[in-house]
Chains A and B, each alone.
Chain A
Amino acid sequence: MASNRDVRDMLGLPVGEVAPPLASKKSKKGGQTKRIQGVAREVAALYGERPPPVAVYEEKKAYRAKRQSTGPAKKWIRQPFTNPARADGLVLKHWRRKPTAAPPLQDGDDAAMQDSEPTDTLENCADYVKYNITVDMPDFTDEEYDAHLRSDDWSREETDYLFGIVKDYSYRWAVVWDRYEWQALKRRERELAQATKQENGEDEANALATMPFAPPRDKERSLEEMKARFYDISAKLMKLRIPEVQMDADQYGLYETLSKFDPVMERNRKMLATALMNRNMDEVKEEEFLLTELQRINMAAVRLDAERDELRARLDAPQANTSTAAGLQSFTSSTALQALFQQLFQQDRSKKRSSGGSNAPGRLSLSANDMINTPSASNSANRRTSMALPAAAPSQTPIKTLSPHQEHRFNVSTHDRLTSGVTFGSDKLLKMRQAKSNVQTQKIASALQELGVPEIIPIPTSKVADVFEQLVAKVGRLLDVRKVKEKEMGECRVLARMKAARDGTAPATSGGVKQEGESSTDADRKEGGGDNDTPMGDSNEDQDDDAEGEDDTGAQNTPANADRDNDDDDDDDDAEGEDDTGAQNSPTGDVDAEGEDESAAQTSRATSLGHGHKRSASELSEGSAPSEKRARK
């Protein structure tokens, strides 16, 4: 038989180092054999090396545990016990499982003897001692009392009584106050003393003579008085024990609260609390009503703010480029990718066109030529084409560069990207008229009608379409502005009326304001009507209107124009400074002015501002209408 050593010798391994591999083997084995209880081996294998984060137990029996029928019924005994929390050693009995005798292999007689034995032992049941708690109380010696704690109002006896009762009721002040019977106690004592005196035969006069000497102050103590006395003593004692400078934060906080207790304030607070509780139904209902009203107003304010923010954002925002905004997400489908390819293709081509047909393929060249002209095939293809075509001509169709004038004349346009198929220009125009909501669409339609733009524009060239698009965008903005303006007007009117009502001069001024507002709007309307008439005639007539000098500069200028016009109207307006300096485009400037207007609710200003809006609106429409006309021309 070859021993381990022989084998090692044969294999040429060093002798002696036997232990380490053995140990590792052992530990490995141990790791493998450690199984998780109650889990199938296959499932346990899924856990890997680490045990699962949550202990898994197999619920062997989902129903009631089976009655354990092993052996006879377990015996219960009434075990006498004492509670260590009691000083008197009261023995009570509770039911306990009878402790099983350790060796069960004794014969019958022994077992019987042991049965009777454990009942005699007295159990010390300390399970509930933890509930036997007493409160911490400040304590003082007689010297301390004499030196620091004397009070004119409180005798030493009563102070002791107070401390006793506070301890008894564990600082439950409401109960302390309820059970505080010092006066009754004193009275009883006095009566008792009186009775004994009379029994002893002391004369009445003597008894009376002692009375005024020490008249016990009989009065009902209020809860605040008791608290004040107790806290006062506690604070003083605390200061005596720990000087103020040595207190840590908690202790000092406690000291502060103790020493700063103000019984008068506390009493007043309680009176207020009582008054609050004793309100009648009407008052409570009123409060409820006011609270709901407040909530409503708050919610409305939030909504209004949100609306305004949205409007501002819309007026500020640049033209959204949907394709870039959507980012890569828009290229998920194959059709979208196809479209992207088309787009890049077009771009590439146009770039090439503009660069004058430099044939060098770019880094991302998608031109059809490049794709076909793979390096291997290019030579032969070129050869073939060169044979077929005059040598001078390039491989692609020649690009004729046109001057802008010519482009305009021949109505040639270049596009970055063209959608497939044929569309009518009028369709494009029709689409612009559509707004998101039906009402808005109708409003736009009526505005356009007012401007005299026919429903079907006869020659919808691309230029016309561009101008029309601008026009529609402006109409949309104007409608938004009008909405805001109406809202502001309404608010102003309400505020004015409220102010008037508060001043007491109600009817006269408010009526006046209202009239003013109406008259101004009337004027606007009239003006608008006049403006509406003019576009039907010659566009030059527009210049006759007020502040229309720069009108012919075209649609691009109109916002600024309107802005300036607004300035002219509202000279007295302090918010205009901003408009002048900051706001280049009128819509934001206008809205900003409104925002400030909110805070200062002055009716006159509001109306004038409203007027301004109207004016600017009419100006805008005027400004855009002629330009559109010009374009049509």
Chain B
Amino acid sequence: MNIPNSSTAPAAGEYAGDEVSAIVLDPGYSTTRAGFAGEDVPKSVCPSFYGQSDNDSYLFGENAIHSPVGNLNIKNYWGADGIVEDWDAATKLWEYSITSRLTGAKAGDPTKNGLNDPPANGESMDVEMEGVENNEKPMEDSPLLMTEPGWNSAKAREKYIEMAMEDWGVPAFFLQKTGVLAAFASGKASGIIIDVGASHTSVTPVLDGMVLRKGVQKSPLAGNFVSQQIRQTFKTATPEIPLTPHYLVKSKTQVDAGAPANAIYKTFPVEPSASFRANEEERVLTEFKESVVEVWPGPGRFNNGTNEEIAKNAPGRPFEMPDGWNNIFGSERFRVAEGLFDASAALTSEANARPKDEWTIPRLVQAAVSHVDADQRPLLLANIVVTGGSTLLHKFNDRLNFEINAIYPSTRNKLIAPGSVVERKYAAWIGGSILASLGSFHQLWISKKEYEEHGASIVEKRCR
């Protein structure tokens, strides 16, 4: 009788949702995702890399960091251990990711919101600002749900809430681990979450929506590692494969496979910095990863027996560089990703030592499971959630499935990998979006009042 349409209100308690227009912020090494809870994709996805020119001002967003301006250093606020290192830049970048797309109108006057402050503030200016301070807080309206990696330190967590409460003035705040949220996005409350991102691979056992801290494992073998392997493959190839990013190429002409590129290059009055070039090269490598790299699907490792021969005889995949150089890649395309699963197969050089055996994904899973109570292991292994952009490598899941079944042949192991690219890349954000839009979540928020009463340490007590 009552078919809902856009003009009818949703039935009360239909999906236990009660949206309070909360904002979900999911920062990652490669991109920072932000959006309103209850939506299915993050509205704002901006790179976690930021530009910093000599005069110390920050530049955020795709447009800013990809323009070849001299003296622009591309940096990332994440530390090598997967915890935020540069808090100042992180705060600004996160604020940008929210205010640029979500709460734009509330951002306040750009001359006063601190983003474009001249280096030296006059005292009179300060006095003036105090009067309008309340209006400046960019997120007074929306509660904020943030995600954090499973191994985040207590100090860093306190920093998160301080930043949200003090700098942004959010009315309520909550912090949740990415693993739990990725599991929620797949509709699971318990499971093992294998998250292969850009800088880190993490394996997080989750039970009833709570991370089992002892079992959290991480390793640096992830997307960036594959990039580094590709770079090394290019370097050691004979002749060396040139890696030219797009911004250097003015025009190109077609050449035969393997022939040197025939292109006209751009010249710049001030040469862009090395970090800029590295970041641009990374974009080419991402394309390479998306279109060429393949994980050896098993059975057996790539090095075993005749597998390499089989791979060699399989049809290769062509790739064309921005400057027109092109070739077909055969068995190399398997080798660059093999290091994720088999440390002995990783390409090494004096700069890049051989990765540790316990960093490989199968070993991480094994370590994570061994730190869980024996009774829960079968349950967790029946819900293995795969997420993160680097799991989109071709045949990644086949191989992972094979490896896990080889370790645990007697349990029922099930991989849960969302089919769509968006869901795989932004699983943690989507989980946060679900969580923050639930009516039953209202009582979990840490309100500003509570923060003022208990201080930043409340985050340890409430978000566990």
Please indicate the chain B residues that have their CB under 8 angstroms from the CB of A128 in the complex: 16, 18, 439-440, 442-443
Please indicate the chain A residues that have their CB under 8 angstroms from the CB of B171 in the complex: 90-92
Q: Which of A249-287 contact B (CB under 8 A)?
A: 270-271, 273-274, 276-277, 279-281, 283-285
Q: Is B450 an interface residue (CB 8 A)?
A: yes
A175 to B373, CA, bound (A): 9
Closest-by-CB residue of A relative to B213 is A178
Q: Is B273 an interface residue (CB 8 A)?
A: no
Q: Which of B45-73 contact A (CB under 8 A)?
A: none
Partner-binding segment picked from B116-124, B128-136, B286-294, B402-410: B402-410
Partner-binding segment picked from B4-12, B25-33, B86-94, B301-309: B4-12
Q: Is A289 an interface residue (CB 8 A)?
A: no
Q: Is A521 an interface residue (CB 8 A)?
A: no
CB-based contact A223/B7 at 8 Å: no
A97 to B7, CA, bound (A): 11
Q: Is A172 an interface residue (CB 8 A)?
A: yes
CB-based contact B447/A175 at 8 Å: no
Report the minimum CB–CB distance from B157 to chain A (whole Å): 15
Please indicate the chain B residues that have their CB under 8 angstroms from the CB of A178 in the complex: 212-215, 372-373
Please indicate the chain A residues that have their CB under 8 angstroms from the CB of B1 in the complex: 57, 59-60
Indicate whether A276 sits within 8 Å of B3 (C-beta atoms), given known contacts A88-B447, A178-B213, A178-B214. no
Q: Is B266 an interface residue (CB 8 A)?
A: no
CB-based contact A174/B213 at 8 Å: no
CB-based contact B409/A281 at 8 Å: yes
Q: Would you call the interface of chain B mostly helix, strand, loop, or mixed?
A: loop
Q: Is B449 an interface residue (CB 8 A)?
A: yes
CB-based contact A83/B443 at 8 Å: yes
Q: Is B21 an interface residue (CB 8 A)?
A: yes
Please indicate the chain A residues that have their CB under 8 angstroms from the CB of B207 in the complex: 172, 174-175
Q: Is A501 an interface residue (CB 8 A)?
A: no
Report the minimum CB–CB distance from B11 to chain A (whole Å): 12
CB-based contact A277/B376 at 8 Å: no
Closest-by-CB residue of A relative to B453 is A88
Please indicate the chain B residues that have their CB under 8 angstroms from the CB of A284 in the complex: 409-410
Query: Considering residues B5, B375, B442, B464, which has the most beta carbons from chain A within 10 angstroms of its beta carbon?
Result: B442
Q: Is A302 an interface residue (CB 8 A)?
A: no
Contacting residue for A67 out of B5, B9, B215, B377, CB 8 A:
B5
Please indicate the chain B residues that have their CB under 8 angstroms from the CB of A78 in the complex: 21
Over the window 157-188 of chain A, the binary record of Cβ atoms lying under 8 Å from chain B Cβ atoms (1 yes, 0 no) is 00000000000110011110111000000000
Q: Is B210 an interface residue (CB 8 A)?
A: yes
Indicate whether A65 sits within 8 Å of B2 (C-beta atoms), given known contacts A92-B172, A94-B19, A178-B215. yes
Q: Is A75 an interface residue (CB 8 A)?
A: no
A65 to B7, CA, bound (A): 10
Q: Is B411 an interface residue (CB 8 A)?
A: yes
CB-based contact B409/A174 at 8 Å: no
Q: Is A213 an interface residue (CB 8 A)?
A: no
Please indicate the chain B residues that have their CB under 8 angstroms from the CB of A276 in the complex: 410
Over the window 422-464 of chain B, the binary record of Cβ atoms lying under 8 Å from chain A Cβ atoms (1 yes, 0 no) is 0000000000000000011011010101100000000000001
CB-based contact A92/B143 at 8 Å: yes
Report the minimum CB–CB distance from B27 to chain A (whole Å): 24
Report the minimum CB–CB distance from B97 to chain A (whole Å): 23
CB-based contact B210/A172 at 8 Å: yes
CB-based contact B443/A274 at 8 Å: no
Please indicate the chain A residues that have their CB under 8 angstroms from the CB of B449 in the complex: 88-90
Report the minimum CB–CB distance from A38 to chain B (whole Å): 10
CB-based contact A132/B374 at 8 Å: no
CB-based contact A127/B443 at 8 Å: no
Over the window 362-383 of chain B, the binary record of Cβ atoms lying under 8 Å from chain A Cβ atoms (1 yes, 0 no) is 0000000000111111100000
Q: Which of B144-163 contact A (CB under 8 A)?
A: none
Contacting residue for B213 out of A65, A95, A179, CB 8 A:
A179
Contacting residue for B406 out of A125, A168, A281, CB 8 A:
A281
Q: Is A41 an interface residue (CB 8 A)?
A: no
Q: Is A28 an interface residue (CB 8 A)?
A: no
Q: Is B208 an interface residue (CB 8 A)?
A: yes
Report the minimum CB–CB distance from B452 to chain A (whole Å): 10
Q: Is B20 an interface residue (CB 8 A)?
A: yes
Q: Is A405 an interface residue (CB 8 A)?
A: no
Q: Is A308 an interface residue (CB 8 A)?
A: no
Please indicate the chain B residues that have their CB under 8 angstroms from the CB of A409 in the complex: none
Please indicate the chain B residues that have their CB under 8 angstroms from the CB of A279 in the complex: 409-410
Please indicate the chain B residues that have their CB under 8 angstroms from the CB of A281 in the complex: 406, 409
Contacting residue for B375 out of A91, A127, A169, A270, CB 8 A:
A270
Report the minimum CB–CB distance from B439 to chain A (whole Å): 4
Q: Is A68 an interface residue (CB 8 A)?
A: yes
Indicate whether A85 sits within 8 Å of B442 (C-beta atoms), given known contacts A67-B7, A178-B213, A274-B374. yes
Please indicate the chain B residues that have their CB under 8 angstroms from the CB of A131 in the complex: 440, 443
Please indicate the chain B residues that have their CB under 8 angstroms from the CB of A59 in the complex: 1
A306 to B300, CA, bound (A): 47
Q: Is B114 an interface residue (CB 8 A)?
A: no
Please indicate the chain B residues that have their CB under 8 angstroms from the CB of A129 in the complex: 443
Contacting residue for A88 out of B19, B143, B450, CB 8 A:
B450
Closest-by-CB residue of B relative to A63 is B3
Closest-by-CB residue of B relative to A76 is B9
A122 to B9, CA, bound (A): 20
Indicate whether A127 sits within 8 Å of B439 (C-beta atoms), given known contacts A74-B7, A86-B447, A179-B213. yes
Report the minimum CB–CB distance from B227 to chain A (whole Å): 34
Please indicate the chain B residues that have their CB under 8 angstroms from the CB of A92 in the complex: 20, 143, 171-172, 442, 445
Q: Is B239 an interface residue (CB 8 A)?
A: no
CB-based contact B12/A127 at 8 Å: yes
Q: Is B13 an interface residue (CB 8 A)?
A: yes
Q: Is A64 an interface residue (CB 8 A)?
A: yes
Indicate whether A95 sits within 8 Å of B376 (C-beta atoms), given known contacts A175-B210, A179-B464. no
A174 to B141, CA, bound (A): 38
CB-based contact B7/A68 at 8 Å: yes
Please indicate the chain B residues that have their CB under 8 angstroms from the CB of A35 in the complex: none
A221 to B459, CA, bound (A): 26
Closest-by-CB residue of B relative to A131 is B440
A88 to B212, CA, bound (A): 30
CB-based contact A132/B375 at 8 Å: no
Report the minimum CB–CB distance from B353 to chain A (whole Å): 31
CB-based contact A95/B19 at 8 Å: yes
A54 to B90, CA, bound (A): 62
Please indicate the chain B residues that have their CB under 8 angstroms from the CB of A60 in the complex: 1
Report the minimum CB–CB distance from B153 to chain A (whole Å): 14
Over the window 240-284 of chain B, the binary record of Cβ atoms lying under 8 Å from chain A Cβ atoms (1 yes, 0 no) is 000000000000000000000000000000000000000000000
Query: Considering residues A73, A94, A173, A178, which has the most beta carbons from chain B within 10 angstroms of its beta carbon?
Result: A178
CB-based contact A277/B18 at 8 Å: no
A413 to B9, CA, bound (A): 96
Please indicate the chain A residues that have their CB under 8 angstroms from the CB of B12 in the complex: 127
CB-based contact B210/A169 at 8 Å: yes
Over the window 195-226 of chain B, the binary record of Cβ atoms lying under 8 Å from chain A Cβ atoms (1 yes, 0 no) is 00000000000011010111100000000000
Please indicate the chain A residues that have their CB under 8 angstroms from the CB of B440 in the complex: 128, 131
A65 to B4, CA, bound (A): 8
Q: Which 7 A-B pairs have the closest CB atoms?
A: A90-B447, A131-B440, A85-B443, A128-B439, A174-B373, A92-B20, A284-B409
Given contacts A94-B20, A129-B443, A270-B375, 11 further A-B contacts (CB under 8 A): A78-B21, A83-B443, A86-B443, A90-B171, A92-B172, A125-B442, A132-B443, A172-B210, A175-B210, A274-B377, A277-B410
Residues of A within 8 A of B (CB): 57, 59-60, 64-65, 67-68, 73-74, 78, 83, 85-86, 88-95, 97, 125, 127-129, 131-132, 168-169, 172-175, 177-179, 223, 270-271, 273-274, 276-277, 279-281, 283-285
19 inter-chain pairs at a CB distance below 8 angstroms, sorted by A residue, are A89-B449, A90-B172, A91-B171, A92-B20, A93-B20, A94-B19, A95-B19, A127-B13, A128-B18, A168-B464, A173-B373, A174-B375, A178-B373, A223-B373, A270-B375, A271-B374, A276-B410, A277-B410, A281-B409
Residues of B within 8 A of A (CB): 1-3, 5, 7-9, 12-13, 16, 18-21, 141, 143, 171-172, 207-208, 210, 212-215, 372-378, 406, 408-411, 439-440, 442-443, 445, 447, 449-450, 464
